[in-house]
Amino acid sequence: MQKTILSWGFFALASISFAPMLQAQKKEPNPTTTKHSSTSWWGNHQYMNIDVDSSATPPQIIATYKNDALYNMTISQHQLTSLYINGRLIPADSFYLYDDLVKRIMDQMRRDSVQAIRDREQAVRDKAQAERDAKQALLDRDQAVRDKQQAERDAEQAVRDKAQAERDAKQADLDKIQAEKEALDAKMEAERDAKQALLDKDQAVRDKAQAERDAEQAVRDKKQAELDRQQAIRDKKQAEEDRALLKSLLADVVKEGLAPDEKSIVSLVLNESEFLVNGKKQSDALQKQFAEKYVRSEGFGFYIHGKVTQIGRMN
């Protein structure tokens, strides 16, 4: 069984780490042996494709990356087992150059696997809710049928009662026993009415309790709406602060002569351990200078690659 995983975030990271190291190879690639491979296009004829072949023993990950040159690699048990660049086999003693790439691929696989599990669990919950809703709909339909049947029986009884009253009136002068029977019938009807009155009273109590619960829910909904509004204000303020911080950072990059102007900055990485501008690593002194000014906390950083910009804690 093969499973294909495509990840835009991972592709962007892989592009930065691969391009400076492997761009020298220019031959056309030989056909790969990966079955059912899928291609994800990004930018100008660039892509990253990851296939998982669980039929192999042990299972293998087959990764294909293209950026000027084509890289085909096989990973088994977290280790790089083969690597071709434009169809040329790379010797195993050079694999250590690609350890960071293998780690990034496996991290992405783990994240995608966790997300798949969450999606399956949500699907199970959705299915269970749908089944409950269907059962309730059947119960409601059955109750409606019973109510209709009862109404029909009540109407038929009313017709019979009317006919009986007419017969009783005609027999009143002739038969005292029939009169006593009618009195007994009247008493039984009164008892049924009394029982119905009790049922109506109980229903009124339940209706009142439901109304109170509805009022309490309305109060909770109002409080939640206010919390949501406050969070939106905080999010907007944070976004404005991030934009201002990024603008200041780009201005300092130009001021330090690391780029002629802000438009020429097509890629940038700044965090507590590295500082790159347009793919070029900056000196430790500049890295420390910029980190002290712009890196707010451990794990915080800036990442720019083309139209992709990220500010904050990096995974």
pLDDT tens track for 218-233? 999 999 999 999 999 9
Q: Is there a domain that residue 42 lies in?
A: yes
In this structure, of 35-44, 212-221, 295-304, the range with the lowest mean pLDDT score is 35-44
Provide the whole-model pTM. Answer: 0.32
Query: Is it the case that residue 240 has pLDDT exceeding 50?
Result: yes
Structure tokens at 286: 């500049």
Q: Is there a domain that residue 55 lies in?
A: yes
Q: Is there a domain that residue 65 lies in?
A: yes
Residue at which a domain ends, from 118, 150, 172: 118
Q: Is there a domain that residue 135 lies in?
A: no
Domain count, the chain: 2
Residue 168 to residue 183: CA distance in whole angstroms: 11
Q: Is there a domain that residue 133 lies in?
A: no
56 or 18, greater pLDDT = 56
CB 275 within 8 A of CB 287: yes
Residue at which a domain ends, from 73, 103, 118: 118
Q: Is there a domain that residue 83 lies in?
A: yes
Question: Given this model, what pLDDT does residue 315 score?
Answer: 64
Residue at which a domain ends, from 89, 118, 147: 118
- Residue percentage of the chain with pLDDT more than 90: 55
CB 4 within 8 A of CB 50: yes
- Binned at pLDDT 50, 70 and 90, residue 24 comes out as very low
- Classify burial at 127, counting beta carbons within 10 Å of its beta carbon; exposed 0-12, middle 13-18, buried 19 or more: exposed
Query: Is it the case that residue 53 has pLDDT exceeding 70?
Result: yes
CB 67 within 8 A of CB 19: yes
Q: Is there a domain that residue 18 lies in?
A: yes
Q: Residue 249: which domain range?
A: 241-313
- Binned at pLDDT 50, 70 and 90, residue 294 comes out as very high
Q: Is there a domain that residue 33 lies in?
A: yes
Query: Is it the case that residue 146 has pLDDT exceeding 80?
Result: yes
If you average pLDDT over residues 231-245, what whole number do you get?
89
